Amino acid sequence: MTQPNILLISTDQQRFDMVAAAGNTAVSTPHLDRLAAQGALFENCYVQNPVCSPSRASLMTSTFVSTHGLYENGVDIDPDTRVFSKDLAEAGYDCGLVGKFHLSSCFDGRTEPRLDDGFRVFRWAHDPYPGSSENAYHRWLRSRRPELYERALEDRRLFDSMPTEAHYSHWIAEETISFLRTDRRTDQPFFFVSNFFDPHHGFGAPEEYIRRYDDVELPPINTRDGELDDKPEIQRLASQRLGGGLPSYVEHTEQELDEVRTAYYAMVSLVDDEVGRILDALDEEGLAENTIVVFTSDHGELLGDHQLLRKGPFMYDCSVRVPLIVRWPGVVAEGTRRTELVQWVDLAPTFLDVAGLDRPRQMQGESLTPLLRGEEVDWRDWALSQYRSGGDPANPGAHLTMLRHDRWKLIAHHGPPGTSRDRAGELYDLESDPGELENLWADGAHLGVRLELTERMLDVLSGIEDRRNPQLAPW
């Protein structure tokens, strides 16, 4: 069988329910809906961390956060880390990437150091904002719309509301289409990554997309009065005041929250239109039938739910559950829905599997190919996310581990070793409380469930320890 092309489209900060095909009728995503209708929609895909860099490292290495060591934004990945794109390149794939990568710190204009990643085409731009001189989007914008570029340098907020034809999301599609039409090596299969920055904050979009939602009633914020009273203290503190100079939930007026949420929906629709252009280019170039298209996101967005905004040390589904759509013509039955607990660590083994490559020993995920083919398999019954704060001895920060199993979600909030304090934590029954509004951690009627899940979490953590080095002999 000819090795199929692979197109990975990833957004940044798009929650699982921000695709109309997933059940949210308020959001306009006709192109993603078409993709889902032509392939498989995974309803329970979890990322390994609720912020960018650790999650993306899990994607590229197929290892959990505690294994790859990129535990927080602002941390560089080990420069010798093996990423799966290198495996594909060595197997004959023409590899390329446009947009964000974020396996290292990009703060304050820092250029992300390159790994031995296998990408022949590497059009890197961490975000649309002023920063590194290596920002490929800025070079593109400066050459085409210099007046807009100069204005935006003076007020970076303009990058969010840039006209569509000059927007970062439009640039991602332009570069992807250019690769498909003229830049790829036609004698090789390709692997290409289109990494959008939207719907990441700041919350803004081209005016035409904001106007699309003028008459749309968005779903209400998912919370209840007094919700945070029995939640861990870090949530109450974050609701009242965020770090980094960003306004918190309580620092927004009701109108401002409405504007934030409208802009978020608008960004999703902007990306959807650009994905539609990419899908059209695949059709026009005769590539669609032999190209696996995967759409997903690195983590979610709280968007006011639980009286919180943005992201951080929170393990709600709106933070760690993301869209995953896979179209594979001739293999995946149209309109497939899968409910298994799948994870971002499963994507790399899947890509290597469809390319005919064995999974390297160090990878901890499993190939989704049997699920995509509609086979009945004995699939794992858990998903794991880990958050570890950078912190310091004076401010150790937050350290959380989430286990999703069956109808339950357990979130352990870890303290310093040896402490005897009454530990905070979260326990949710997702069958009776899918909105995760009622914390059952301290509910005496659920202590048995909490203990059982804690024991299961310990077994999972033992099972994902790094044992990549084979035992050569008894001693």
Report whether pLDDT(393) > 70.
no
* Phi-psi sector, 69: left (phi>0), alpha (psi -120 to 50), beta: left
Write the DSSP string, 87-101: HHHHTT-EEEEEE--
pLDDT band at 390 (very low <50, low <70, confident <90, very high): confident
- Give me the sign of the Cα torsion angle 171, 174, 180, 185: negative
What pLDDT does residue 314 have?
96
Give residue-wise pLDDT tens across range 51-84: 999 999 999 999 999 999 999 999 999 999 999 9
Q: Are 322 and 42 spatial neighbours (Cβ–Cβ below 8 Å)?
A: no
**pLDDT (average), residues 85-95:** 98
**pLDDT (average), residues 10-35:** 98
Residue 168: CB atoms within 10 Å: 25
Report whether pLDDT(289) > 50.
yes
Sorted by sequence, the CB contacts under 8 Å of residue 25 that are 6+ apart come out as: none
pLDDT band at 417 (very low <50, low <70, confident <90, very high): low
**pLDDT (average), residues 100-104:** 94
Residue whose token pair is 């699920």: 371
What pLDDT does residue 200 have?
96
The phi, psi pair for 241, rounded to 5°, reads: -160, 120
pLDDT band at 396 (very low <50, low <70, confident <90, very high): low
The Cα-based distances of 407 to 273, 428, 430, 449 in angstroms read 35, 8, 5, 11
Report whether pLDDT(275) > 50.
yes
Q: What is the C-alpha to C-alpha distance for residues 401 and 345, in angstroms, rounded to an integer?
A: 16
Report whether pLDDT(420) > 50.
no
- Three-state DSSP class for 107? helix
**What is the distance of C-alpha 239 from the center of its chain?**
23
Q: Are 321 and 44 spatial neighbours (Cβ–Cβ below 8 Å)?
A: yes
Give residue-wise pLDDT tens across range 227-236: 999 999 999 9
- What does pTM read for this prediction? 0.96
The Cα-based distances of 326 to 9, 33, 208 in angstroms read 10, 12, 29
Buried b (16+ CB within 10 A) or exposed e, 205-228: bbeebbebbeeeeeeebbbeeebb
**pLDDT (average), residues 132-144:** 95
Look over the chain and give the mean of its residue pLDDT values, rounded to a whole number. 95
**pLDDT (average), residues 74-97:** 97
What pLDDT does residue 351 have?
98
**pLDDT (average), residues 214-226:** 96
Give residue-wise pLDDT tens across range 208-219: 999 999 999 999
Report whether pLDDT(49) > 60.
yes
Residue 93: CB atoms within 10 Å: 24
Report whether pLDDT(287) > 60.
yes
Give residue-wise pLDDT tens across range 182-195: 999 999 999 999 99
What pLDDT does residue 415 have?
80
Report whether pLDDT(284) > 70.
yes
What pLDDT does residue 312 have?
86
